């Protein structure tokens, strides 16, 4: 069974926490250590960012991390090499998150084959058109038992959400707002209504809420309205401040979230 499906099927009522970081930032060779540290400290699954020069959906924190990673020499091939080196030491799901341009440059078949060989369980490609996913990407990803995770936003229609829910597997990434990534102090009434509206749809796939989670208030709001939360910008900032020391960054993150790992 794919590790993503296994995690969600076995979680029971436990809420999940996923963290995102950009591979190659703040240091080129820190990827493996960050992954192993996050697993050891109780993170449920990890999104590993593929750095790209024009990350349209990302705010300044992740854009800066991507720029630093590229300057450090990170590439898709280097990332796959790093992941292969630790695949037998990592048991939680790894999800690659990146834009279509570098993936197409590598070639879809090579990319998904490399994912499978590197212990990756799924991918998130924010700028992948759903039509292209269905016609071109899904047949390849299915062949390698990889989940392609789709995003929804407050602007996504109910018809579109149900269509995505019917044609994907793993989980749905529920973006808290239509804006770029970045920490928020709270979720306003409009976002709360969006969460309630999606809850009422009783979708087949579990949902994870991301974009803007940075403190106890936003984390608990995500936990009340989904299977769990995804944190990116806040952890990326802390990891950079800690010069790549993932333990130190996690200590600060858990304190900000008033969070104690459940496992």
Alpha-carbon Rg for the chain, nearest whole angstrom, is 17
Query: Helix 189-199 and helix 216-225: axis angle, to 10°?
Result: 20
Whole-number Å distance between alpha carbons of 65 and 216? 24
Q: Which residue's entry shows tokens 């973006």?
A: 175
Q: Which two tokens stand for residue 194?
A: 């969006």
Question: β-pairing, 151-152 with 172-175?
Answer: parallel
Whole-number Å distance between alpha carbons of 228 and 218? 11
Whole-number Å distance between alpha carbons of 79 and 120? 11
Whole-number Å distance between alpha carbons of 159 and 173? 17
Angle at 11 between CA 7 and CA 16, to 5 degrees: 80
Question: Annotated catalytic sites, by residue?
Answer: 47, 58
């Amino acid at each position: 069974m794919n590790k993503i499906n296994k995690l969600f099927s076995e979680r029971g009522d436990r809420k999940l926490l996923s963290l995102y970081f950009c591979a190659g930032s703040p240091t080129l060779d820190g990827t493996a250590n960050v992954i192993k540290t996050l697993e050891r400290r109780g993170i449920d699954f990890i999104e590993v960012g593929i750095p790209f020069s024009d990350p349209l959906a990302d705010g300044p924190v992740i854009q800066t991390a991507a720029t630093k990673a590229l300057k450090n020499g990170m590439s898709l091939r280097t990332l796959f090499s790093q992941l292969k080196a630790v695949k037998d030491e990592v048991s939680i799901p790894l999800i690659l998150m990146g834009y279509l341009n570098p993936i197409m440059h590598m070639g879809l078949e090579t990319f998904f084959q490399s994912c499978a060989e590197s212990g990756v369980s799924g991918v998130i490609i924010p700028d992948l058109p759903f039509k292209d996913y269905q016609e071109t990407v899904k047949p390849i990803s299915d062949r390698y038992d990889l989940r392609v995770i789709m995003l929804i936003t407050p602007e996504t229609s109910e018809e579109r959400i149900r269509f995505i829910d019917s044609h994907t597997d793993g989980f749905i990434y529920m973006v808290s707002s239509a804006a770029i990534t970045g920490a928020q102090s709270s979720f306003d009434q409009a976002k709360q209504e969006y969460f309630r509206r999606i809850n009422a749809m009783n979708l087949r796939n579990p949902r994870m809420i991301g974009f803007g989670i940075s403190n106890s208030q936003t984390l608990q709001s995500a936990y009340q309205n989904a299977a769990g939360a995804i944190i990116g910008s806040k952890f990326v900032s802390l990891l950079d401040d800690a010069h790549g020391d993932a333990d130190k960054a996690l200590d600060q993150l858990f304190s900000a979230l008033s969070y104690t790992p459940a496992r």
